[in-house]
Structure 1
Amino acid sequence: MRDRQAELAAVDRLLTIMDELREQCPWDKKQTLQSLRHLTIEETYELADAILEDDLQEIPKELGDLLLHIVFYAKIGSETGDFDMASIANGICDKLIQRHPHIYGDVEVADEEEVKRNWEKLKLKEGKKSVLEGVPKSLPAMVKANRIQAKVAGVGFDWEAPHQVWDKVQEELQELQTEVRAENKERMTDELGDVFFSLINYARFLGIDPESALEKTNKKFMARFQYLEQKAQENGASLQDMSLEEMDVFWEQAKKHQ
């Protein structure tokens, strides 16, 4: 059960520690918004890994690391007078209230999809010229494609049913094969990008996060290949000297062990 006073006290403790570290620790004194950026990205990926592994012991640790970064940025902002923890928290509170008129106003919504559509409309009213303005430029391509598709869908630019998206995937695959046969590398690259984009869109219609799905496959492949390496070593064999048929025996064993 949540203890609001304990939560507030813990955040206050973290803010106090941050003040002390910024004042007394040589490393913390030197940090800037720019120097922390890549570390924040790393911490975010570490949290994402813990979530993917459903590691409930590691998730709160990684959340703590990420919270520390937020507090660190807030401390730096307070030193320049540009922002602080209060303005950050109040800013997101104001945004949440403004973008949830179905909770804090008199707007009625039928379902989750209508909430998403209203969210994008409200952002445009706030002065954004494009619904795509909120897509970070530095996102990995797969994540970016997923966000682009979700955002345009929020204003009604979308397919009506999954089978239409699958038909588009098939169409893009055929176009890719045409360019493969023509050995046109530049066009192959374009068409392969279209295939990926269509598959990511199809994943969205299936309610599957494509980044998580691919990462699960990465982990599955790595586990199987490492099993293959282990078995080869146990048998005194080298992968370089084994045939594909010989390696496939261990590969099939690895699939049964997962």
Structure 2
Amino acid sequence: MKEYEIRVITEQDLHLQSLIDTGRRFALAVPAGTDALVYASASSLRLLPTSARTLLDPVEAIGFLTWIRFAGRHYGMIICLCPVDMASVVAGLLGRLPGLAHAPTIEPDDLTREAIRLADVLWPLVGTQYTTLEEFRLLITELRQKCPWDRQQTHVSLLDSLLEESYEVALAIQRDSADNLEEELGDLLLQVFIQSEVAREEDGFDICDVVRTADDKLTFRHPHVFGSVSVTSSDQVLENWQKLKILEGRKKHFVDSAKLLSSIENALLSQETARSDGFDFESADQAYGKLLEETGELGEELNAPARDEDALAMELGDVLFSALNVARLSGVNPVKALHHSFDKFRDRYGRVRDYAKQQQVDISTAPPEELERLWQLAKNT
């Protein structure tokens, strides 16, 4: 473990001022309400409770110790600026800190000894699975505060990265590459955490709420594990799963868009690979000409006297692949374009169903002319 230095001081002495003057990076822990001018000089800031006794609460204490480990790993120097009674608790908590280059020197008292006993219990947990995710959350929070690029990101601006990382995870699984999968899962986890941090700042929920929601959902959808429902096969599990989704008010997507979008990304990747080798169309117009050619071949296959389903699928795939080439060379994001068309169709079809219900038309038995009338009505609304 990287060594780091911690100093516990009870007033803004010359040591702190010398750090500020030299520009050395340091992390700072201070009680809430401390002079804000001190904050600006710190690379990382942790607000301590105003009461020393509060810091002895196990939840408060392990949060503080997790930040100490995080700040020590990333900044090396940590200053704890606090009143005498708080300094006694901090010194006791940090006395058992592994990797500490310079231990804080505070005359021990009852608060110190109580803190030492608590630290003996908590320090073995810090840096393990019990605090690893919290350290990562602290890292994301720091990036949102300190990095100009991370700070300007929104839910929408991160969408392409989220999709890209998801597809790279899928690709690592397809290639059966454990090392690559570990890295790509980390990249995907980063997207989940930064989206959650944006939400904490804007929408009022955080990564803990995300985890709790998933926990509640999985518990509800597994009554055969956590309830009294009996199942004997995976098919029964899936059947119950869909029923429970409906009870939650969640309906199956109109199409399995995730698999479709994964295929789009893989096709685009292959096209970009060919482009890097110099094998590509010179313009979108050329790609469009190829699309028209493939569309004609698809029409021929559709109108063939004896239809060959495999050949038809191949020609349809060629049309889709050619359309992606047109999008790529035109600078159009095909995923966003498809989302737009999907949303447009979904909304219009929803209005078709509403009009059919209002006019007592049975869509399943209505003639094509009636369906076209409803479609035009929905389209022109």
TM-score (norm 1): 0.53
Matches within 5 A, 1:171-186: 179-181=302-304
State the match for 1:67 in structure 2. 189
CA distance in 2 between partners of 1:69 and 1:112 (Å): 31
Change over 3 Å in CA distance of 1:56–1:107 after alignment to 2: same
The residue aligned with 1:79 is 201
1:81 Cα deviation after fit: 3.4
Q: CA deviation at 1:141?
A: 6.5
CA distance in structure 1 between the partners assigned to 2:241 and 2:315 by the alignment = 29
Query: Higher Cα Rg: structure 1 or 2?
Result: 2
Instruction: State the 1:49 CA deviation.
Output: 1.5
Structure 1 outlier segments of 4+, above 4 Å: 135-139, 141-144, 193-196
Q: Whole-Å Cα distance in 1 between the matches of residues 175 and 257 of structure 2?
A: 27
Match of 2:151 among 9, 12, 29: 29
The reply to whether residue 103 of structure 1 matches residue 225 of structure 2 is yes
SS of the equivalent of 2:178 reads coil
* Total equivalences in the alignment: 158
Residue identity matched to 1:109: V
Alignment partner, residue 252 of structure 2:
131
- Is residue 58 from structure 1 mapped to residue 168 from structure 2 by the alignment? no
Change (3 A) 1:41 1:118: same
Structure 1 residues 52, 4: CA separation in 2 closer, same or farther (over 3 Å shift)? farther
Structure 1 residue identity aligned to 2:304: R
- Give the match's secondary structure for 1:35: coil
Greater helix fraction, Structure 1 or Structure 2: 1
Segments of 5+ residues of structure 2 without an aligned counterpart are: 1-124, 265-298, 317-381
Higher strand share: 2
| Paired residues for 1:1-258 under 5 Å | 6-128=128-250, 130-132=251-253, 135=255, 137=257, 139-140=259-260, 179-181=302-304, 192=312
Quick check: 1:74–1:83 contact (8 Å CA) kept in 2?
yes
Root-mean-square deviation (Å): 3.6
Q: Which TM-score applies when normalising by structure 2?
A: 0.37
AA aligned opposite 1:179? L
Q: Displacement, 1:132?
A: 3.6
Q: Helix, strand or coil: the match of 2:133?
A: helix
Native 8 Å contact 2:172 2:181 kept in 1 = yes
Match of 1:248 in 2: none
Contact 2:144–2:151, Cα closer than 8 Å, also in 1: yes
**How far apart are residue 193 of structure 1 and its match?**
6.0
In the aligned structure 1, how far is the partner of 2:259 from the partner of 2:233? 29
Seen in structure 2, the aligned counterparts of structure 1 residues 6 and 102 have a Cα distance that, compared at 3 Å, is: same
Is the CA contact 1:180–1:188 (under 8 Å) kept in the aligned structure 2?
A: no
